[in-house]
Amino acid sequence: MQRGIVYALSGYFLWGIAPLFWRLLREIDSLEVLAHRMVWSPLTLLLVLLATRNLSWIRPAFKTRKTLLTFFITAVLLGVNWGVFIWAISVDRTVDASLGYFINPLLSVMLGMLFLGETMRPGQWAAVAVAAFGVAYLTWVEQTLPWIGLVLAVTFGLYGLMRKTADLNAIEGLSMETGLLLIPALLFMGWLAASGELHYIQAGLPMKGLLMLAGAVTVIPLLFFSAGARRIPLAMVGIFQYIAPSLQFLLGVLVFREPFTTAQLIGYVIIWVALALYTLESLRHNRRVTA
């Protein structure tokens, strides 16, 4: 249990401070950074699979049409999510990106009701309603839809929905997804190289090293999270999931000094109230179930 807590906290902490890494790559076009993430992640995962001798699932997975279709869709969702997040960090929109991962749990509850036939409890409805009001308020005060947060929430929510019904675990699934993304990423980088626009070629050794580390930065937090989630209660995972967006928010405001008005703060407070309602309701429900 204690080891599981350490693992889970380590995973969420690394996800929370990930903007520090992606910000180091902001001088390179976001699409190229995304392509490097798509290339180095499956190579890093291959080392993990080789080290754990976990390769027997690959051939059956790629032979099953349903599995291929499922993970093709999740790969596209993951690619869009990664791309928007990397771009947001590069243009000083880390705070906006954090919003997506704050509202994601509430969106996931809605998706479960719509697509999996799950029943929403009154407390969950109240939390979703308060969060929707917060998003509407932010849209009103900013005179524009907070699309970065919404795109991140929707893509990750749909990704989680698809993965919930998939037949591969976290590491195997991510390996298959990134494997499907590898070829288009290599083709894109080849096109950039042919047109003389691949920054990796002209970059110095430190920048080349950072781009190659994109795989480890992607995989290591997932390894920690997977190890932790197997050892701690689901309710604890639900509470820990707010660590990452909270750290991202604090980095955006306190470290990157991104613009953040009082009016925006009010909108975020409304959404945090919704998350508090959702968390308290979930804890109360879990106590009743386990009593």
Each residue's pLDDT tens digit, 73-116 = 999 999 999 999 999 999 999 999 999 999 999 999 899 899 88
Encoded tokens for 185 = 């990423």
Output the average pLDDT for the chain: 92
Please name the residue that has the structure tokens 């390769």. Answer: 55
Helix, strand or coil, per DSSP, at residue 117: coil
For residue 229, what pLDDT is reported? 80
User: How many CB atoms lie under 10 A from the CB of residue 2?
Assistant: 8
Least confident of 96-105, 161-170, 220-229, 231-240: 231-240
pTM score, two decimals? 0.94
**Residues 267 and 137 sit within 8 Å (Cβ to Cβ):** yes
pLDDT of residue 235 exceeding 80: no
| Structural domain range at position 218 | 2-290
For residue 291, what pLDDT is reported? 63
Q: 123: exposed, middle or buried (C-beta count within 10 Å: 0-12, 13-18, 19+)?
A: middle
**How many Cα atoms occupy the beta-carbon half-sphere of 276 within 13 Å?**
6
Q: pLDDT > 90: what percent of the chain?
A: 76
CA torsion 143→149→151→155, rounded to 10°? -160
> In this structure, what are the phi and psi dihedrals at residue 22, rounded to the nearest 5 degrees?
-65, -25
CA–CA–CA angle 277, 121, 237 (5° rounding): 55
**Residues 79 and 188 sit within 8 Å (Cβ to Cβ):** no
For residue 242, what pLDDT is reported? 93
d(CA 64, CA 49): 20
d(CA 35, CA 184): 8
d(CA 224, CA 93): 27
For residue 165, what pLDDT is reported? 81
Helix, strand or coil, per DSSP, at residue 231: coil
**Residues 158 and 102 sit within 8 Å (Cβ to Cβ):** no
Each residue's pLDDT tens digit, 135-185 = 999 999 999 999 999 999 999 999 999 988 888 888 999 999 999 999 999
Count of structural domains within the chain: 1
Q: pLDDT > 70: what percent of the chain?
A: 99
Residue 13: what residue type? F
pLDDT of residue 254 exceeding 80: yes
Q: Which residues contact 92 (CB under 8 A, 6 or more apart)?
A: 252, 256, 258
User: How many CB atoms lie under 10 A from the CB of residue 7?
Assistant: 20
d(CA 9, CA 239): 11
Each residue's pLDDT tens digit, 30-85 = 999 999 999 999 999 999 999 999 999 999 988 888 899 999 999 999 999 999 99
Length of the chain: 291
Mean pLDDT of the region 5-12:
92
d(CA 214, CA 89): 14
Q: Which of the four pLDDT bands, split at 50, 70 and 90, describes residue 238? A: confident
For residue 94, what pLDDT is reported? 97
